[in-house]
């Protein structure tokens, strides 16, 4: 790789060389995690392998944080408590697809970063914390951990990830899955249908009312619903019907308003049909609080490494991630490393790319970018101050 050398200090070059020297070890770990895919909250092997490597580097590892077996906190305390710079790691796979979101690369990339930082600054002026977060693909590990205060002591954090481009500053949606169950009264569907109260009819009229209200949605509003229970037999009026909705908007406040409106629609429809309703809201994934000085710093380090910087698409086209909840607690962002824009996440092709050259390259680039970001923050306290101030103002 052709590094634009004038942006690199000697210590940056030392860090880059340290990652390159560990390339085989990091790739071996990434491929091993890929070959042993574990679903959310069951990532015992990945957590053991990642935390063993961190312990070997001198980190004090605590497992089972926030009451989650496969969550961990690994701390390397240098000459002081502050600054406390965080790396956020994921390691869960997808059902049926394995590591089709590149989470196998995240722990190894982070290990590469911290090993490089410690090679440059064996007694760092501060603390480095690696937080292992389970179940990104649906379980909301970081939502639970953020509520438990796990990220509170960090001055900032980054998550080394793989994506369609080298990019950061991606805006994501505030999102929540909500379950609805409508209860009516069963009756013989042919002999005495008039004696029943049809829960499925109530549910379907709720879907129709919701769809007719979409004209008044703003561009960031996303609602997708599926029927998860539409009755047991055609011989009976359905006494119970259930649906599940993903309700998303650009911000937490508007998400709450939209959710209230939708639940109001289904409550009214249940009432019209003489039925009752129960709602079961899931975890709230909050929107990313994008921190401009942090974005500038990350992009600066992409360029210093000779990596082309891609621009994220803004305007709510990105889905939701539990990293958003971390960004609401402490200045944070995902650092996306190019895996190739021609493959889409959650596909067989993406799983293949994650364990071959594109994944290996993204892993090593991630390790280097992460090291350069943190080294800059350790030698330039003003940069961190600027990030912290932007966070308080935003
Ligand atoms: Zn994913």
What was the pLDDT predicted at 144? Answer: 97
What is the structure's pLDDT at 379?
A: 95
CA dist 353 and 29 (Å) reads: 16
Query: What is the rounded distance in angstroms from the CA atom of residue 277 to the CA atom of residue 180?
Result: 7
pLDDT of residue 318: 75
Residues forming beta bridges with residue 157, ordered by sequence position: 86, 332
CA of 194 to the centre of ligand 1 (A): 47
Which is it for the CA torsion 117, 305, 366, 388, positive or negative?
A: positive
Beta strands 156-163 and 174-183 are: unpaired
> Which residues lie closer than 8 Å to 389 by C-beta, 6 or more apart?
none
> What letter would DSSP give residue 67?
G
Distance 42 CA to ligand 1 centre (A): 16
* Ligand 1: centre distance to CA 137 (Å): 6
- pLDDT tens readout for residues 331-346: 999 999 999 877 888 9
Task: Supply the CATH classification number for the domain 174-285.
Answer: 3.30.70.360
In 3D space, the residue among 320, 339, 323 whose CA is nearest the CA of residue 87 turns out to be 323
CA of 104 to the centre of ligand 1 (A): 12
- Ligand 1 mean position, distance from CA 341 (Å): 15
For residue 233, report the distance from its CA to the centre of ligand 1, in Å. Answer: 36
Report pLDDT for 1. 45
Q: Measured in angstroms, how far is the CA atom of residue 101 from the centroid of ligand 1? A: 5
Q: What is the pLDDT along the chain (394 residues), one digit of tens a residue?
A: 444 555 799 999 999 999 999 999 999 999 999 999 999 999 999 999 999 999 999 999 999 999 999 999 999 999 999 999 999 999 999 999 999 999 999 999 999 999 999 999 998 999 999 999 999 998 999 999 999 999 999 999 999 999 989 999 999 999 999 999 999 999 999 999 999 999 999 999 999 999 999 999 999 999 999 999 999 999 999 999 999 999 999 999 999 999 999 999 999 999 999 999 999 999 999 999 999 999 999 999 999 999 999 987 654 467 899 999 999 999 999 999 999 877 888 999 999 999 999 999 999 999 999 999 999 999 999 999 999 999 999 8
What is the Cα 65 distance to its own chain's centre?
18
CA of 131 to the centre of ligand 1 (A): 18
| Separation of alpha carbons 42 and 51, rounded Å | 15
Ligand 1 centroid–CA 136 distance in Å is 7
Distance 352 CA to ligand 1 centre (A): 14
The CA distance from 87 to 156, in Å, is 9
Domain boundaries, the chain: 5-172+288-393, 174-285
DSSP assignment letter at 352: H
pLDDT recorded at residue 313: 62
Report how far ligand 1's centroid is from the alpha carbon of 347 (Å). Answer: 10
Ligand 1: centre distance to CA 172 (Å): 13
Ligand 1 mean position to 56 CA, how many Å? 29
Residue 183: enclosing H or E segment and its boundaries? strand 174-183
What is the 46 CA–ligand 1 centroid distance (Å)?
A: 17
Task: Calculate the dihedral angle through the C-alpha atoms of 149, 156, 321, 70, rounding to the nearest 10 degrees.
Answer: -50
Superfamily for the 5-172+288-393 domain: Zn peptidases (3.40.630.10)
Q: So what's the pLDDT on residue 71?
A: 98
Crossing angle for the helix pair 106-120 and 23-35, nearest 10 degrees? 160
**Is-contact 372 301, C-beta < 8 A?**
yes
Ligand 1 centre from 6 Cα, in Å? 36
Q: How far apart are CA 359 and CA 134, in angstroms?
A: 21
The residues whose Cβ lies within 5 A of ligand 1, an ion, are 101
Compute the distance from residue 356 Cα to the ligand 1 centre, in Å.
Answer: 18
């Amino acid at each position: 790789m052709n590094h634009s050398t004038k942006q690199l200090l000697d210590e940056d070059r030392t860090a880059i060389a340290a990652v390159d020297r560990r390339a085989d070890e990091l790739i071996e770990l990434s491929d091993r995690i890929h070959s042993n895919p574990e679903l959310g909250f069951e990532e015992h092997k990945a957590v053991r392998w990642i935390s063993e490597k961190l312990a070997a580097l001198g980190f004090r590892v605590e497992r089972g944080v926030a009451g989650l077996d496969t969550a961990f906190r690994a701390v390397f305390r240098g000459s002081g408590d502050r600054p406390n710079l965080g790396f956020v790691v994921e390691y869960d796979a997808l059902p049926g697809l394995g590591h089709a979101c590149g989470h196998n690369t995240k722990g190894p990339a982070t290990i590469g970063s911290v090993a490089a930082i410690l090679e440059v600054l064996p007694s760092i002026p501060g603390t480095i914390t690696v937080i292992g977060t389970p179940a990104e693909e649906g379980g909301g590990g970081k939502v639970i951990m953020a509520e438990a205060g796990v990220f509170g002591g960090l001055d900032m954090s980054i998550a080394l990830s793989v994506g369609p481009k080298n990019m950061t500053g991606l805006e994501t949606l505030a999102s929540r899955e909500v379950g609805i169950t409508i209860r009516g009264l069963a009756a013989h569907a042919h002999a005495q249908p008039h004696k029943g109260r049809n829960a499925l009819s109530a549910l379907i009229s709720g879907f129709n009312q919701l769809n007719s209200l979409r004209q008044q949605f703003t561009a960031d509003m996303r609602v997708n619903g599926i029927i998860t229970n539409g009755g047991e037999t055609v011989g009976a009026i359905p006494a119970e019907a259930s649906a599940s909705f993903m309700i998303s908007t650009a911000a937490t406040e508007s998400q709450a308003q939209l959710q209230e409106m939708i639940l109001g629609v289904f409550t009214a429809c249940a009432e019209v049909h003489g039925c009752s309703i129960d709602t079961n809201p899931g975890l709230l994934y909050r929107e990313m609080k994008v921190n401009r000085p942090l974005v500038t710093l990350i992009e600066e380090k992409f360029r210093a490494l000779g990596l082309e910087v891609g621009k994220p698409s803004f305007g709510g086209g990105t889905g939701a991630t539990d990293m958003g909840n971390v960004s609401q607690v402490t200045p944070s962002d995902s650092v996306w490393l190019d895996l190739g824009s021609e493959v889409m996440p959650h596909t067989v092709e993406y799983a293949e790319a994650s364990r071959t050259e594109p994944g290996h390259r993204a892993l090593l680039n991630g390790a280097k970018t992460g090291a350069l970001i943190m080294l800059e923050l350790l030698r330039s306290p003003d940069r961190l101050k600027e990030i912290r101030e932007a966070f308080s103002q935003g």
